[in-house]
Amino acid sequence: MPQRRDLIASAIVVLLLALLPLAGSRYAIDLTTEVMIYALFALSLNVLIGFTGNISFGHAAYFAIGGYACAILLTTYGWPLALALPAAVVLAGLVAAVVGYFCVRLTQIYFAMLTLAFAMLVWGVAFKWKEVTGGDDGFTGIKMPEIIAHHVGYFYFTLVVVAAGIAALWVICHSAFGLTLVAIRENSVRAGFIGVDTRHMRWAAFTVAGTFGGLAGALFGMYHRGMYIENAFWTESANVLIMVLLGGIYSFIGPIIGAAVLHLLQTFTNQYTPYWPTVLGLILLVIVMVLPDGLIGLVRRVRARGGRP
Amino acid sequence: MTLTMFTLNAFYGLALAMNMFIIASGLNLIFGVLRVINFAHGMFYMFGAYIVFTVAKTWGAPFFVGVLAAGAALAVIAFAIERLLLRHLYDKEHLMQLLFTFAIVLLMSDAAKMIWGTDQYSVGYPPGLGGAVNLGFVMLPQYQLFLCVVGPLIAVAMWFVVDRTRWGRVVRAATQDREMLAALGVNVPMVYAAVFTIGSALAGVGGALAAPRIALVPGMDATIINECFIIVIIGGLGNMWGSFLGALAFGFVVQFGTVLAPNWQDVLPYLLMLAVLIIRPWGLLGRPETGH
């Protein structure tokens, strides 16, 4: 069960976010909406990376499938949101289950390569299936339900969905299933010895990650009123991976912090210089060279040095 | 499809395959010895192509001087990257090495933007190789013919160096047991540096040789790195002849896909790769991973 302290802290964060539109800044509302979506995206990936110890380099695929499916069902087929959103999430989860079936046969670097390859296949389909996805031009002009068409309405919608998604992921990660995943990460051979079907569990983790990645993608597509093939490209997979690492993989809230820091940094950097890739490259070098456990790890180390618990 | 068309397409597929092999074999060599998946390999390729443009077109030097310059420049860049940064990461997780090479991609892509801008460039065929050879029923372009000769030459040269020389034995030993090799008095860090340098130089040369066939645009690195991944995965990671086979399969699928299914030629290689992986998860000539 969650600690009382954590529950209260989460409630305060949600409450503060709910009050944000009162400040009246459109810019702040939009930026926060984006950060919330990326936070969910990054958290979903961390089920695989931080908890199971499997590096997926193709997580953008499920994000894109969720986003494209929701957009197409809403617009081309005129489905109501209450059907389109769950359908898109289920589809992302199904594709993740199929891809995962093949990927979990491999481990380590081979696993990463295969996830990347499947993701590029998804990208290729989004690129070439022009009649359905809009191809190179992207899928634009998503029909939005009245109630969330306004940016404040969409902000609250995102807040509710992301909060529910994060709560669900928290429960999954701290359940017996989640602990089994940690056992696989720590020592998959020993986990096998005590009777864990490691391949099965990794497959389940893969599917969970893809499902929630699809949810984030659906929110992203509706927020931008469109999906573009860049959202399925491997650089997007790398981006979310960097968010997860920047925050710290061995902590539940690490990816949320990583997503917030990286996205805000990108937004501000882009106002001053076109050279965001350089900044991102330097951030990555710092992570790789001196900060492998991310910002959360840094905070923990500083605390430990200060003698506090 | 007539015989002429078939021959011509098979030939173009072969030329593409040989060009891809030169690039992918470098990626494969680095993976085989260092166990590092080098995302920056595509960027090295792009730099190779841009450098040949600058040397041959802007400065007016002969094309093959440009090719050598591209190979040499990438060797220097790669050596510096390995010695200054990458060598500190061999003991860390794969993920960290992967991300390190991605950081190099980001930094070099901005560097390319600063040096060459975002315009599209082209490099003409070198003089003497711009014509075609008449076989009676079909005309084969000379430059593609040249690629079909260079590719196998490089393959044989790599095979000879790795399988038949003392240095090659050292390299193969480094893939088996680093510590034992070091205990025998071999300077293993320098072996690693040399392999990374040579592999990267191959990307530079491959890019320079590709330059006359293609348009030079920002983003060409991202396409090529994925294609190289496909090739080495199909062939089996770390296996040189596997890459050769993978490149052949890739070249023919892309070329005939362009003719027979013009809308889907970009997706076909991925389907080919998935088909191979479902039947043989370790690639055509790869070996099952051992538990480390």
Mutate to test the interface with B, among A45, A120, A136 (most CBs of B within 10 A): A120
Could you give the CA distance from residue B271 to residue B273 in angstroms, rounded to a whole number?
A: 5
First to last CA, chain A: 21
What are the helix (H) ranges across B117-165?
142-164
Cβ distance of A55 and B277 shorter than 8 Å: no
Q: Which of residues 20-49 of A touch B (CB under 8 A)?
A: 49
List residues bridging with A227 in a β-sheet.
Answer: A139
- Please indicate if any CB of chain B lies within 8 Å of the CB of A90: no
The yes-or-no verdict on residue A244 having pLDDT over 70 is: yes
Q: What is the nearest CA distance from A280 to chain B, expressed in angstroms? A: 7
Cβ distance of A110 and B107 shorter than 8 Å: no
What is the distance, to the nearest Å, from the Cα of residue A105 to the centroid of all Cα atoms in its chain?
23
Nearby residues of B84 by Cβ (< 8 Å), 6 or more positions away:
none
The whole-number pLDDT of residue B48 equals 96
- Please indicate if any CB of chain B lies within 8 Å of the CB of A105: yes
Chain B residues in contact with chain A using a Cβ-Cβ cutoff of 8 Å: 35, 37, 85, 88-89, 92-96, 98-100, 102-107, 109-110, 222, 226, 229-230, 233, 237, 263-264, 266-267, 270-271, 273-274, 277-278, 281-282, 289, 291
Confidence of residue B291 (pLDDT cuts 50, 70, 90): very low
Could you give the CA distance from residue B282 to residue B226 in angstroms, rounded to a whole number?
A: 18
Residue B133 parent element (H or E): strand B132-134
Q: Which chain A residues are within 8 Å of B85, Cβ to Cβ?
A: 285, 289
Please write the tens of the pLDDT for every residue from B199-248: 999 999 999 999 999 999 988 988 899 899 899 989 988 888 999 999 99
Within a 10 A sphere around the Cβ of B81, how many other Cβ atoms?
A: 23
Confidence of residue A282 (pLDDT cuts 50, 70, 90): very high
Cβ distance of A281 and B105 shorter than 8 Å: yes
Please write the tens of the pLDDT for every residue from B104-127: 999 999 999 999 998 899 998 998
Please write the tens of the pLDDT for every residue from B49-93: 999 999 998 998 899 999 999 999 999 999 999 999 999 888 888
Residues B209 and B67 sit within 8 Å (Cβ to Cβ): yes
Parse chain B into domains and list their residue ranges.
21-218
Residue given tokens 């085989």 in the structure block = B32
Q: What is the nearest CA distance from A258 to chain B, expressed in angstroms? A: 15
- Please indicate if any CB of chain B lies within 8 Å of the CB of A121: yes
Could you give the CA distance from residue B11 to residue A214 in angstroms, rounded to a whole number?
A: 43
Give the residue from B214, B207, B217 showing the smallest Cα distance to B66: B207
Parse chain A into domains and list their residue ranges.
25-231
Give the residue from B232, B251, B252, B250 showing the smallest Cα distance to B242: B232
Cβ distance of A288 and B89 shorter than 8 Å: yes
Tokens of A285: 């070098």
Among A120, A128, A288, the residue with its CB nearest the CB of B264 is A128
DSSP code, position B246: H
What is the distance, to the nearest Å, from the Cα of residue B217 to the centroid of all Cα atoms in its chain?
18
Q: Which chain A residues are within 8 Å of B95, Cβ to Cβ?
A: 49, 55, 112, 245
Query: Rg of chain A's alpha carbons, rounded to an integer?
Result: 19
Tokens of B226: 């994925």
How many residues are there in chain A?
309
Confidence of residue A1 (pLDDT cuts 50, 70, 90): low
Among B105, B267, B281, the residue with its CB nearest the CB of A105 is B281
Within a 10 A sphere around the Cβ of B263, how many other Cβ atoms?
A: 12
Tokens of A275: 């050279």
DSSP code, position B216: B
Q: What is the nearest CA distance from A292 to chain B, expressed in angstroms? A: 8
Cβ distance of B289 and A106 shorter than 8 Å: yes
- Report the SS3 class of residue B139: strand
DSSP code, position B196: H
Cβ distance of A102 and B278 shorter than 8 Å: yes
Please write the tens of the pLDDT for every residue from A24-79: 788 899 999 999 999 999 999 999 988 888 889 899 999 999 999 999 999 888 88
Sign for the pseudo-dihedral over CA of B62, B66, B72, B76? positive
The region, left, alpha or beta by phi > 0 then psi within -120 to 50, assigned to residue A141 is left
Q: Three-class SS string for chain A?
A: CCCHHHHHHHHHHHHHHHHHHHHCCHHHHHHHHHHHHHHHHHHHHHHHHHHHCCCCCCCHHHHHHHHHHHHHHHHCCCCCHHHHHHHHHHHHHHHHHHHHHHHCCCCHHHHHHHHHHHHHHHHHHHHHCHHHHCHHHCEECCCCCHHHHCHHHHHHHHHHHHHHHHHHHHHHHCCHHHHHHHHHHHCHHHHHHCCCCHHHHHHHHHHHHHHHHHHHHHHHHHHHCEECHHHHCHHHHHHHHHHHHHHCCCCCCHHHHHHHHHHHHHHHHHHHCCCHHHHHHHHHHHHHHHCCCHHHHHHHHHHHHCCCC
Confidence of residue A234 (pLDDT cuts 50, 70, 90): confident
